[in-house]
Structure 1
Amino acid sequence: MHTRPVLVYDGDCAFCTTCVRFVERRIRPRCEIVPWQFADLGPLGITQERARYEVLWVTPPGVTYGGAQAVAKLLLNAGGAWAVAGALLTLPGVRQVARGAYRLIAANRERMPGGTPACALPAASGRADAG
């Protein structure tokens, strides 16, 4: 069991890695940050399929948030002005917009600044938005 939240991201995706580096330098959340490729996913209670699909925030008790809500939890955890932004992302209406924006960015992350063809999500994942 972990004592701090864990942010799990796709370490093979240059765009995702660039975003995580920004988070580490500027936002500085109080959590562990690990690419899913190097994480022990079983004890975290997450599958490889889900980890490939979206960024995940796993709390010490084992509650998992994905996509835009993982970002919201990360911002809330960072405190200060970041926490205000995180709180906004959890509000009804804003939450739905954030979910849509996250899915749009995730579906096109290979086209985002720093993205490469390796960033593309697996074809036809068939997942409903869990974020």
Structure 2
Amino acid sequence: MAPRTLPVLVYDGDCGFCTTCARFAERRLTCDVEIVAYQAADLDDLGLTAEQCAEAVQWVRPDGTVSSAHLAVGDLLRASGLPWSVAGRLAQTPPFSWFAAVVYRWIAANRHRLPGGGSACSIESPSPGHRPD
């Protein structure tokens, strides 16, 4: 298999809210990135599991390193140039990243209630000892 040259954003294609966000990114952001639902992706090739992808959006760099959740959104925004890159850098820099992590977790927990969401978007709450990326 040929080495990957573009980063890949992997989202939950069964979630209407996530799909709406992915389509927004495709239309409005200017970065060169492959955006794919995890249900249609070769997860083994990307070094991901279905569980990781159901829990949070994933950003896979061409070198195979992965970021998740608010950090993945930050990577997407940073790759998109101005003005998006400013927001992306903030999302990854403390103390702003702490706030971004809380907001991401709230959105993920409530995505079934957000525009485009529905019952298929609902995810189970993480176990009490779970710590997101």
The bucket for the TM-score relative to the shorter chain is over 0.9
Match for residue 129 of structure 1 among 125, 128, 132: 132
* Contact 2:17–2:121, Cα closer than 8 Å, also in 1: yes
Aligned to 1:92: 94
Equivalent residue letter for 2:110:
N
Q: Which consecutive residues of structure 2, in runs of 5 or more, have no partner in the other structure?
A: none
Aligned to 1:63: 65
Match for residue 50 of structure 1 among 49, 52, 55: 52
Aligned to 1:22: 24
Match for residue 43 of structure 2 among 41, 44, 48: 41
Q: Which consecutive residues of structure 1, in runs of 5 or more, have no partner in the other structure?
A: none
Match for residue 80 of structure 1 among 82, 92, 110: 82
RMSD of aligned alpha carbons:
1.0
* Contact 2:112–2:121, Cα closer than 8 Å, also in 1: yes
Note the C-alpha offset of 1:115: 0.6
Q: Which runs of 4+ in 1 moved over 3 A?
A: none
Among the aligned pairs, what percent are the same residue?
47
In structure 2, distance between residues paired with 1:115 and 1:29: 26
Note the C-alpha offset of 1:84: 1.1
* Contact 1:23–1:29, Cα closer than 8 Å, also in 2: no
TM-score, normalising length from structure 2? 0.93
Equivalent residue letter for 1:17:
T
Equivalent residue letter for 2:131:
A
Any idea what the Cα deviations from partners look like across 1:55-87, whole Å, max 9, x if unmatched?
Answer: 000001111000000000000111121111111
Aligned to 1:4: 6
Corresponding residue SS for 1:100? helix
Corresponding residue SS for 1:2? coil
Note the C-alpha offset of 1:29: 2.2
TM-score, normalising length from structure 1? 0.94
